[in-house]
Structure 1
Amino acid sequence: MNKMVTIPQDEYDRLREAAEELGDLRAYDRAKARIEAGADELVPAEYAGRILNGENPLRVWRDLRGLTQQGLARASGVNRVQIADIEAGRKRGSVETVARLARTLNIDMEDLVRA
């Protein structure tokens, strides 16, 4: 049988707000721990905004990493023309190509694929 407790509405509201704040603090702590462990990274707003505004994610991540198309081609083993075609939206790239680019940029494949 469930026990019932009656408390004033303002006390109930205060407790709910405190529980929500605690949840937010725990989420913050988890996110901070992932960043400190290297599992996640902070992306500057300028770069995130470029992706949100429709710029090709490969170009944005390549710029963020300080690579030219040729530099990314050398590091990934993907032909520079393929990289240019993907960045221009002319081609999407095979799963293998996207995987190689993502590994080289140290990001998830999903970060390179637009919905």
Structure 2
Amino acid sequence: MTVQFIEIAGQKMVILPEAEYRSLADQAEERADSEAAERAEARRLDGEEYVPASLVERLVDGEAGLLVWREYRGLSQQALGEKVGLSKMTISSLERGKRDTSAKNWRALADALSVDVDDIMPFD
């Protein structure tokens, strides 16, 4: 490695050829990517759920979280309603934002879908 040490305004600096700098930068990026992958794998092994990008896109696009997560979990409105003691009509109305429900019901819905309440409650 070809380096030159200089001092500017009392601060030591290192000058090296661009190709060597780019090589070092690439190595640092590869190491950071590898470490991030290891952390992600550890979280997955600890039970963190991965979801498909299509689910995230639907949520980002503003679709109702309750609807998106219910469909992702493969539940009909009827089946989800039965799990939490609400009617199919109530589930439908909640998904369309036509009605609200109690915090207790939102928690029950979140538990039935294995998500946080914030993942399914409307933002309004």
Q: TM-score, normalised by structure 2?
A: 0.70
Match of 1:67 in 2: 75
Runs (4+) of structure 1 exceeding 6 A deviation are: none
- Alignment counterpart, residue 24 of structure 2, candidates 6, 12, 15: 15
Q: 1:88 to 1:114 in 2, by over 3 A?
A: closer
Per-residue deviation at 1:5? 4.3
Structure 1 position 105 matched with structure 2 position 113: yes
More helix by share: 1
Moved more, 72-81 or 94-103: 72-81
Per-residue deviation at 1:87? 0.3
- 8 Å CA contact retained: 1:78, 1:101: no
Q: Distance in 1 between matches of 2:43 and 2:78?
A: 32
Q: Distance in 1 between matches of 2:98 and 2:26?
A: 50
- 8 Å CA contact retained: 2:81, 2:88: yes
Moved more, 99-108 or 15-24: 15-24
Q: Distance in 2 between matches of 1:11 and 1:114?
A: 52
| Pairs aligned (count) | 114
User: For residues 1-27 of structure 1, what are the alpha-carbon distances to aligned partners after superposition, in whole Å with 9 as ceiling and x for unaligned?
Assistant: x86544333322322232122212222
Identity of aligned residues (%): 38
Q: 1:37 to 1:55 in 2, by over 3 A?
A: same
More strand by share: 2
Match of 2:103 in 1: 95
Q: 1:5 to 1:46 in 2, by over 3 A?
A: closer
Unaligned runs of 5+ in 2: 1-10
